Structure formats: C-alpha cells, structure tokens
Amino acid sequence: MHYISTRGEAPGLGFSDAVLAGLARDGGLYLPVEWPHFSAAEIRAMRGLSYPDLAVRLLTPFLGDEISPPVFERIVREAYATFRHEAICPLVQTGQNSFVLELFHGPTLAFKDVAMQLLARLMDHVLAERGQRATIVGATSGDTGGAAIDAFAGRDRTDIFILFPHGRVSPVQQRQMTSSLAANVHALAVEGNFDDCQGLVKDMFNDHAFRDRVGLSGVNSINWARIMAQIVYYFSSALSLGAPDRAVSFTVPTGNFGDIFAGYAAKKMGLPINRLVIATNDNDILARTLSTGEYRTLGVVPTTSPSMDIQVSSNFERLLFEAAGRDAGTVRRYMAGLKQSGSFTIEAAQLERIRSEFDSGRSSATETAETIRNTLEKSGYLLDPHTATAVRVASKRAASETPMVILGTAHPAKFPDAVRDACGVTPGLPAWLAGMMDLEEKYTVLPSDLKMVEDYVSSRSRAAG
C-alpha cells in the first residue's frame, strides 16, 4: 500500500515511512492511495472476532508487505493487553436505540490510548529494524499528550516532547504528562492555546533542516497510523449491533477531526454507516463550516471540555481532499487561504458531498452540564464532558430507527471538577491510578516561540545529529 499527501507535492511513501514521517514534507497529510474494501460477506465473517483479531483483519491491508503477519499480530496483542476491559472498547446501552462506545479503558483513560499503544509499538519495530532513533514531537489539548507519554516512556529509540497549553488542561491530564520518570519524556507547557502548540509542531515539521537533523516524527492524528487504528472500533461496535445487515450512525465529539475521519474511512471500507455526526463544544468551527460552507477560525474559548478547545482542525484537510475528488491543488488553495486570512470557502459541490455523509451540531457548556446531570438521573450513567457534548448533539436529532453510537472518548474522572459542577458527583480515579495526583511533577514552561522550542528539543534529543 502506498500513501499520498493531501497537498500532492511530497513523495509517495510506503507504510513504514508514512508512519515515521507524520506530516508530509509539503505540509500535507498522508492517506492510502486507495481504500481497502470488504464485502458484506467478509464483514459478516468478522462477527465474533476478538478486538485484537478484528484489528489484525482490518488493518493488514494498510501495511503492504512491510510488516510480517506474525510481527503485526504480536504488536496488536501487546498493544491491547494494556487495556483494563476484556472487550477493549465495550458498547453500553444508554437509551432505547442509543449506545455509548467506551473508548477509555486504556492506561490514560481516553480514546487516544487505542491508537497510541499500537503506534508506539509499530514505530519501535520500524526503528529497530532500521537501526534508527527518532525525535517525537506532539501537541496536545490534554489527552494525546498523556497517551503518547504512557506509550513511549522508556523506549530507547525515541525521545518524546509534548507541547501542552499552559494552564488549560485538567489537573489529571497535566499530572499524566508531567509525572513520568522516564528520561526520554519531556513535557513542555507552552504559553498559548492548543492551536499555538499544534502550529509549533507543524512549523517544526516544515523546517526541513531541523526535521532532518533531529529525525522528527509525529504522534498527533496527522500521523496516518493514528487514524488507521481508530477505524477498528467503528467496525467492532457496528458488528455487535448487526452490521453489515443493519446500518448504524455515530455521533463523535470532535476537535482535530481524527476520530470522526476514522469513521469516514470505515465507511469507505464497506461498513454500512448511515450518518456521521460531528459534535462540537463552543469552539464550533466545524459545525459552522458545515452549515455555511465557510471555514473561518475565530479565537479559542476555554470550555469544560478542554480537549476539544480547537479551531484549526488538522484532519479536516483529509476530508477536503476526499471531497475534492483527491485534487491536491484544491487543498493547497484552501490551505493557502487559511494561512493568509484565517478562512476559505468550500466549493458548492464539495460541500454537498461532505453534507451527504456528515451532519453537525454544537453543545454549549450549559447544555453539556445539563446533559451530564440528566443522563445520570435517567440512566445512572456518568458521562465525561466530551462524551456529553456528543450525547447532547445526538439528542437534538429526530428519532430514527438506526442505532446511534456515541463515542465515549474519556473517563469522567479525567475531568472531576466539571462533572461535579454539573451533577454533584465527583468521579474518582480507578484504583490502579490512585495516588497519581500526589506524584511529583516535572515540566518546562516555554513561550510560544519556534526557535526556543526547537533549541530545547535539539539540545535534548538523542537522535539529533
């Protein structure tokens, strides 16, 4: 399988190179040159597979012949052995035809673990085979950082630098990033918001001299392997609700558009998905874009669902590429507009194509709090604020025969203050994380300045030449 850039000016790569590259050298994002497709009979035959077996079955076509089947199977099994639920991503019924897909049973209690545990092992394998080291940089609004640090801590072939917005992540998220004792882990609190952190990461990738000197790799969802791993739970949940003989819809709390793009990929691979619903908080750029056709960045406002406090939604570029019939020139034009004026307008036919697959909605902070309270009262189920955003958006839709799966992206204990303020119940961390909040913190505060961040990274990276 070959991977091509959404901006069409970077070389096509095989799977391992695409995984190590993260962002393409032309600033674009990698996508498989074609979508693997499974027939209804093949999908039916996946019923009853364990989560790791399903992952192997679905993801093998993406690897080409670069990772041998026994190695990939071992990597997948090891990745999901870190989860604390036998089903890995269990589906819980919360209403007559609605379900929460719990994606937070991994080591850091957020859906990011599902992909990150796999990605770290894949990278380690590729680097070991090549006898190389890599410097990993990542931007986080809270969850990617903790998941990446957990997955990469102590790995000899990588040094990891995570940029998080200083003072804008929850205390649990911060402690997950700052309490690692591993020498290869570096937590950087950047004076800015998530978009500033993500901008710095992309600028580091686009500084080719720096990129080559430190052997840069990325673990944000700009990395194709992150999206790839997330495809599996769309299949696992739909299969347990009757796929391929029954279509399912999904509502996804959305920020960087990686998670919901994995749903789009699952549909391309043959999974019968009726609607993909984008749920945003007050940072509603995606909901606005779907209703007006204009993608326009406004300032980020802090909310009770901080991991979704994002305006520049990286993976939307992958969808634009698809909607434009994979015309990289169109994507380059949109991205140039975004850089110059903070906005671009999607051509009518492309917008129609997007609207034929996706709906969108917004949940204000007040509505999200109400939803946490009402859901607890009605069903005894405690939502985190991100998942609650999606529950609210889904509840605004007309009743449908199609089952609605809400992606449960984080454990409520990651956001105890917001949950307590909403419903009076303070969720506690699971026993195996008790004591985490007493661990000593280690992090460095840096201004949102490319040169200072690059100097910090290159002076501490073991891969730097």
Ligand X SMILES: Cc1ncc(COP(=O)(O)O)c(C=O)c1O
Residue in 56, 52, 66, 49 with CA at minimum distance from that of residue 13: 66
The DSSP H or E segment spanning 359 is: strand 358-362
Q: Which of residues 218-237 bind ligand LJ64HWYM (CB under 6 A)?
A: 220-221
102 near ligand LJ64HWYM, judged by CB under 6 A:
no
- Stretch near ligand LJ64HWYM under the rule CB under 6 A, chosen from 123-131, 135-143, 344-352, 395-403: 135-143
Closest to ligand LJ64HWYM by CB, 127 vs 201, is 201
DSSP for residue 211 = H
**Nearest residue to 59 (alpha-carbon basis) of 234, 257, 219:** 234
**Residue 146 sits in the site that holds ligand X (CB under 6 A):** no
255 binds ligand X (CB under 6 A): yes
The answer to whether 369 touches 377, Cβ cutoff 8 Å, is no
Among positions 255, 263, 385, 408, the unique one binding ligand LJ64HWYM when judged by CB under 6 A: 255
How far the first Cα of the chain sits from its last, in Å, is: 31
Q: Which of 16, 217, 251, 307 binds ligand X (CB under 6 A)?
A: 307
Q: What is d(CA 194, CA 313) in angstroms, rounded to the nearest whole number?
A: 11
* Contact between 143 and ligand LJ64HWYM per CB under 6 A: yes
Residue 143 or 282: the one with the smaller Cβ distance to ligand LJ64HWYM is: 143
Helix (H, G, I), strand (E, B) or coil at 303: coil
- Applying the rule CB under 6 A, the residues between 85 and 144 that interact with ligand X are 110, 143
CA distances to 3, 226, 437 from 249, rounded to whole Å, are 28, 22, 37
Which H/E stretch holds residue 112?
A: helix 112-130
Residue type, 112: K
| Residue 212, token pair as written in the block | 């080559």
CA 317 – CA 359 distance, rounded (Å): 17
Q: Pick the binder of ligand LJ64HWYM from 98, 117, 135, 144 (CB under 6 A).
A: 144
Strands 216-218 and 134-139, how do they pair?
parallel
Q: If binding is defined by CB under 6 A, does position 303 make contact with ligand LJ64HWYM? A: no
Of residues 359 and 449, the one with the C-beta less far from ligand X: 359
- The H-or-E segment that residue 161 falls in is strand 158-165
Residue 318 binding ligand X, by CB under 6 A:
no
If 0-12 CB within 10 Å is exposed, 13-18 middle and 19+ buried, where does residue 400 land? Answer: exposed
Q: Is 307 in the site for ligand LJ64HWYM (CB under 6 A)?
A: yes
Look up 112 and say whether it is catalytic. yes
The smaller minimum CB distance to ligand X, of residues 199 and 253, is found at: 253
Please classify residue 339 by burial: count the beta carbons closer than 10 Å to its beta carbon, then call 0-12 exposed, 13-18 middle and 19+ buried. exposed
Per-residue string for binding with ligand X, 375-404, x by CB under 6 A? -----------x------------------
Measured distance CA(416)–CA(369) in Å, rounded: 12
Residues 183-202 that bind ligand LJ64HWYM (CB under 6 A): none
Contact (Cβ atoms closer than 8 angstroms) between residue 117 and residue 107: yes
Q: What is the token pair recorded at 426?
A: 């303070």
Question: Binding residue for ligand LJ64HWYM (CB under 6 A) from 28, 32, 52, 142?
Answer: 142
Q: In this complex, which beta carbon is closest to ligand X, that of residue 244 or of residue 253? A: 253
Indicate which of ligand X, ligand LJ64HWYM, none lies near residue 409 (CB less than 5 to 8 Å, by partner kind): ligand X
Which of ligand LJ64HWYM, ligand X, none sits in contact with 257, Cβ below 5 to 8 A by type? ligand X
258 lines the binding site for ligand X (CB under 6 A)? yes
Binding positions for ligand LJ64HWYM, rule: CB under 6 A = 140-145, 220-221, 255-256, 258, 307, 314
Binding positions for ligand X, rule: CB under 6 A = 110, 143, 221, 253-259, 307-308, 386, 409-410
Active site residues: 112
